[in-house]
Structure 1
Amino acid sequence: MKPLNAFFFFLLVIALAACSKENDDLSGVQDIPGLGGDTWVEGSLDKWLHDSLTVPYNIEVKYKWDQFEFDVTKTLVPPKEEVVIPAMQAIMKVWIDNYIKYAGELFFKKYSPKFFILSGSASWNDNGTITLGTAEGGRKVVMYLLNEFRTKGMDGYQPRDTANVKQIFHVIEHEFGHILHQNIMYPTEFKKISVGLYTANWNNIYDADAHQDGFVTAYAMSSENEDFVEMISTMLIEGKEGFDRIVNSVQDKTSDNGTTQAQAVAALRQKEAMVVNYYKSAYDVDFYALQKATRDSINALFY
């Protein structure tokens, strides 16, 4: 067997040498996107993002696909370029302009995240839930489902379908709420309002059932911090009338957790008051004025 092995080794050496000679010229090899070396010519979209967000607010928006900005185990698609400007314009009107108006430009520049990563699709989790946005260290926000964004004047726009648009703003207000409370913590009394009702199984609960326990959304039941920022984002996006509708939707019955209608309503109103007082005491911001302006800006996208 030894002579046979030597013969195969000889053939292998010849093959490797041949491959080496054939591949000496690598000028035609294509770079793999995302691994370095890939470049593109900046166009009008890049210029708009730079002039509208990077120059005035030091916010960079990354829409070119880079899988390593996301969880590599998830199947995602890049955003369509035609939705990037309409989406970011709407974000400026609803989020940036209103915070600057009621909190000031210095406030916004200090606390706003500086890096937005855009994905065209949602990120599905193993438990059947979807991730619509994440924030890292208060500086980077990843936004999903951009390809579903539709407002007045865009192709395929449906006046009655506001869910996808509100979802985008809800994610931003939610993540920005995290940034704010991570800089100045909300009162510890907030955590006592719904003590014993938080659960890791929030994804098995309908929003309507969460309302019966004094939570504004089912996701608010996942933890005290999520409860606080879900209050912020829901109150801003739905407006005062929308939030009042949620409170008034609590039915005259006792929840599975033993929460009565009166207790659920009282919990929602306590949380509302704490959010409003927090904005005033921590950042000197009139929350109700910010809330009205935010909701008005959303309405303007549809009518």
Structure 2
Amino acid sequence: MKAFLLIIPLCLLMACSKKDDLGNVEDIPGLGGDTWAASPLDKWLHDSLTVPFNIAVKYKWDQFEFELNKTLVPPKEEKIIPVMSAIQKVWMDTYIAEAGALFFKRYCPKYFILSGSASWNENGTITLGTAEGGRKVVLYLVNDFLTKSMEGYKPSDSANVKQMFHVIEHEFGHILHQTVMYPVEFKRICAGFYTGNWNNISDMNARRDGFVTPYAMSAFDEDFVEMVSTMLVEGKQGFDDIVNSIPEGTSINGVTKAEAQSRLRQKEAMVVSYFLTVWHINFYSLQTRTRKEINQLLY
């Protein structure tokens, strides 16, 4: 028995000393084989976003950054600078102007992942953006981004561009309320009207129940950030138009026009108050700046 035990370590030493050819590990993606020379695009991203704000942008394709069961396409490199430059003007610069660079650097997400196409879900809805832990944002539909300065732009394309800004403002709204929660009274305005069936509800029917978008009906938190993003992207007049568009009569849930409009105005007031009391941001001034930058890009 003792002799047997002594033989085992000897065999192990012999096995470990054998040099098997495992190939060059640096050829394995993720272990050093996926490096590339920095391009002018990489330099622009580094100088414009990484150096001043510690924000990294990943546009080189990596399927493991996304859901593996989704069919997606990489972003076109010629879209990267226009997309990130527009985001800088519409979202970053406006918040910095209102709240200061320190605020923005402290709370902004640090990692952007870009996809060229949309992410379709089994229920027929489209995921246009996600945020993880307040630090990582995934943006889809980058290849559809067109502004008035780009070849092929048509006025009808503005909806796609506005949707991207809506996603950014929506996800940043989540970061803010996850840091400091909005007043609990907000949840009482439409209590009992939230539903997982929001994707089968039209914009107008959502408004008739006092929600700014159908997705706002999915949960309290989504309602709050949909208010923030819609108010910023559509501007004061655009939001007023949404409120005023509610028709006479009652919704299928028995909500009158006056009640629906009151719900939206209560939510508006709470958003404005939250930004002022918690973050010392004049929301209406931020709204004006944001809409102005969007108009300059699109019209």
TM-score by length of 1: 0.89
Shift of 1:161: 2.6
What is the aligned partner in structure 1 of residue 157 from structure 2? Answer: 161
User: How many Å separate the matches in 2 of 1:120 and 1:31?
Assistant: 26
Q: Secondary structure at the match of 1:75?
A: coil
The code of the aligned residue for 1:133 comes to G
Does 1:182 find its partner at 2:178?
Answer: yes
Q: Equivalent residue of 1:294, what SS?
A: helix
Once the two structures are superposed, residues 220-250 of structure 1 have per-residue CA deviations (whole angstroms, 9 ceiling, x without a partner) of: 0000000000000000000000000100011
Corresponding residue for residue 263 of structure 2: 267
Which residue, 237, 241, 254 being the options, matches 1:241? 237
**Superposed displacement of residue 159, structure 1:** 2.7
**1:91 paired to 2:83:** no
CA RMSD of aligned residues (A): 1.6
Tell me what 1:47 maps to.
43
- Unpaired stretches in structure 2, ≥5 consecutive residues: 1-19
Shifted more, 33-42 versus 245-254: the winner is: 33-42
Contact 1:34 1:66 in 2 (8 A): no
In the alignment, the residues of structure 2 paired with residue 123 and residue 102 of structure 1 have an alpha-carbon distance, to the nearest angstrom, of 33
2:107 matched residue in structure 1? 111
Residue 39 of structure 1, CA deviation: 1.4
2:127 maps to 1:134: no
> Distance in 2 between the 1:215 and 1:24 partners?
63
Shift of 1:25: 9.2
CA-to-aligned-CA distance 1:157-199 (integer Å, 9 cap, x gap): 1134310100110000000000000001000000000000000
Structure-to-structure mapping, 1:247-258, within 5 angstroms: 247-258=243-254
Aligned amino acid, residue 205 of structure 1: I
* Corresponding residue of 2:75: 79
- The 3-state SS of whatever aligns with 2:137 is strand
- Give the distance between the partners of 2:298 and 2:70, measured in 1 at CA: 33
The corresponding residue for 2:97 is 101
Partner residue in 1 for 2:284: 288
Report SS of the residue matched to 1:161: helix
Quickly say closer, same or farther: Cα 1:31–1:270, change in 2 above 3 A: same
Contact 2:247/2:257, CA 8 A, preserved across alignment: yes
Q: Conserved in 1, the CA contact under 8 Å of 2:232 and 2:290?
A: yes
- Measured after TM superposition, the shift of residue 30 of structure 1 is 10
* Identity between Structure 1 and Structure 2 (%): 69
1:278 and 2:252 correspond: no
- State the 4+ residue runs in structure 1 displaced beyond 3 angstroms: 23-27, 29-36
2:299 is equivalent to residue 300 of structure 1: no
Name the amino acid aligned to 2:110. K
Matches of 2:98 and 2:270 in 1, distance apart? 18
For the residue of structure 1 that corresponds to 2:131, the secondary structure is strand
Q: Give the Å deviation of 1:255.
A: 0.6
Once residues 94 and 25 of structure 1 are traced to their aligned partners in structure 2, the CA distance between those partners, rounded to angstroms, is 50
Question: Structure 1 unaligned runs (5+)?
Answer: 1-22
Q: Normalising to structure 2: TM-score of the pair?
A: 0.91
Match of 1:125 in 2: 121
Paired amino acid for 2:140: Y
Does structure 1 retain, via aligned residues, the 8 Å contact 2:119–2:140? yes
Give the aligned residue type for 1:43: S
Task: Figure out how many residues of one structure are paired with residues of the other and give that number.
Answer: 280
Write the distance in 2 (CA, Å) between the matches of 1:34 and 1:91: 29
User: Counterpart in 1 of 2:212?
Assistant: 216
2:21 and 2:171 map into 1 onto residues whose CA distance is 50
Q: SS of the counterpart of 1:53? A: helix
Confirm whether residue 194 of structure 1 aligns to residue 183 of structure 2: no
Q: Is the 8 A contact 1:34 1:68 kept in 2?
A: no
Deviation at 1:24, TM superposition (A): 5.9
**AA paired with 2:139?**
M
- Given that 2:149 and 2:297 are in contact with CA atoms closer than 8 Å, whether structure 1 keeps it comes out as no
